[in-house]
Chain A
Amino acid sequence: QQPVQSPQAVILREGEDAVINCSSSKALYSVHWYRQKHGEAPVFLMILLKGGEQKGHEKISASFNEKKQQSSLYLTASQLSYSGTYFCGTDGSGTYKYIFGTGTRLKVLA
């Protein structure tokens, strides 16, 4: 079953912050985050392998709560270039069956 992301869509002004959540009904052993620009393929942002791990990429960071089976993506001081659809992804418990969350559409306005 797909992880559920929230919110489904968000609109920001440049410089504002946003949080995107990813929640799974099954145990998460790792969480990956991807960004997809309109009309393009998804591109890998970051991977979190351990519960409690946090990572950053530019002004984008993420956390992973293994016990709650949740991950959150934090976008700080958003830029126009952050617009796109964000997906969390996971390859499950020791398999390579790679599934994605439902996606969050983010639009940053000038």
Chain B
Amino acid sequence: DAEITQSPRHKITETGRQVTLACHQTWNHNNMFWYRQDLGHGLRLIHYSYGVQDTNKGEVSDGYSVSRSNTEDLPLTLESAASSQTSVYFCASSSGGPSGANVLTFGAGSRLTVL
């Protein structure tokens, strides 16, 4: 069965360290997204990609970067982790059909704690 997997599921790191969260999907979806979830803010869009070599900034992209070298993967990198980036991170993908009709499929989430 097709799936979307995130790793690691839990990560503790120190302020200033570089961290990469992996996202791998086998749906063959064109669109991929990264969100962070914090109480009171819901799901906020960090970065998204429409396809290979395409990346776009979302609403809260400062301090984060992504790259899309193939259809299956969209890793999220925190260049220099800050305590404000402690959060639960969700990766999602969609098929890229007609705009408005895209349904997102989510990974299980990665909980990141920055000390």
Contacts and interface: CB of A to CB of B under 8 A. Distances in A.
Contacts of A32: 103-104
Interface string B54-96: 0010110000000000000000000000000000001010101
Interface of A: 1-2, 5, 8, 29-30, 32, 34, 40-44, 47, 49, 87, 89, 91-103
B60 to A, nearest CB: 10
B100 A29 contact: yes
Given A41-B106, A42-B43, A100-B42, A95 B101 contact: no
Contacts of A49: 100-101
A93 B99 CA distance: 8
Nearest to A89: B104
A95 B99 contact: yes
A43 B33 CA distance: 15
- Ordered nearest first, which 4 A-B pairs have the shortest CB separation? A30-B100, A103-B42, A41-B106, A100-B43
Nearest to A94: B99
Nearest to B48: A97
B108 interface: yes
Nearest to A29: B100
Contact of B59 (A42, A93, A99, A101): A99
Interface string B28-45: 000101010000111111
